[in-house]
Copies of this chain bind each other. A is one copy, B any other.
Amino acid sequence: MHHYPTSFLNNTIFQNIMAKNKNTEQKIFDAATELFIEKGVDRTSVRDIASKAGINLALMNYYFRSKENLFDAIFTNLVKKNTKDLVKILDSDLELDEKIKQYVAAYIDILLKNPLLVSFFMAILHRSREKITEMEVVSLLYGRDKFTQQIIDEGKKGNIRRTDPTHFYVDMISMITFPFAIRPMIMDKNELNDEEFIAFIHERKQHITEMLLKSIKPC
């Protein structure tokens, strides 16, 4: 009979564990994060993590139960840390135009700053696409109740063309996100280096905003 420590994921008593297990658990968490960034999730073994964290192999399983769990913990942590602003913008009382502009720019900046976020997302989608619906934290990346209502309302008022909010939202996140997923392809086909790709992505902030606004502008 094993006694597993309270999970990292169970953050109601997050503070308490941290006081106690800070060293080992945090060491595993940090080492894994660094290695996942550096080599990708699949190409880092738990032995790598253990040796980088300076702990015994079995401790990874003792604290996180599995590599998959550790991955989820890191991903959840990363998403939570980075998407607060995004949700705030969508739920704000900004004018629709300004809201879209800010959302697009903020989302792109987040993805530029956190390459891990992109590759984690890809990893989850790849591993089992269904799983993503089970991760509550993903709502933070696809939650838009107020925004949806706003589009419907503005359409009724005649301030914009009547627009299907689902299509509109899918368009928006597709144009923002997908280029990061196919980054090597875009760089290769357009002969861009890293710097130029980043510039291209920055251009897209304005480009996407214009595209979206033009599509809802009333005739």
Contact = CB atoms under 8 A, between A and B. Distances in A.
A210 to B, nearest CB: 8
A184 B215 contact: no
A141 to B, nearest CB: 8
B122 A125 contact: yes
* Interface range on chain A (Cβ under 8 Å from partner): 35 or more
A174 B122 CA distance: 15
A148 to B, nearest CB: 10
A204 B166 CA distance: 10
Which DSSP category, helix, strand, loop or mixed, fits chain A's interface? Answer: helix
29 contacts: A122-B126, A122-B129, A123-B126, A125-B182, A126-B126, A129-B182, A132-B184, A139-B189, A142-B185, A142-B189, A143-B189, A164-B203, A166-B186, A166-B190, A167-B203, A167-B204, A170-B175, A170-B186, A170-B204, A171-B175, A171-B207, A173-B178, A174-B177, A174-B178, A178-B178, A181-B181, A210-B215, A211-B211, A214-B215
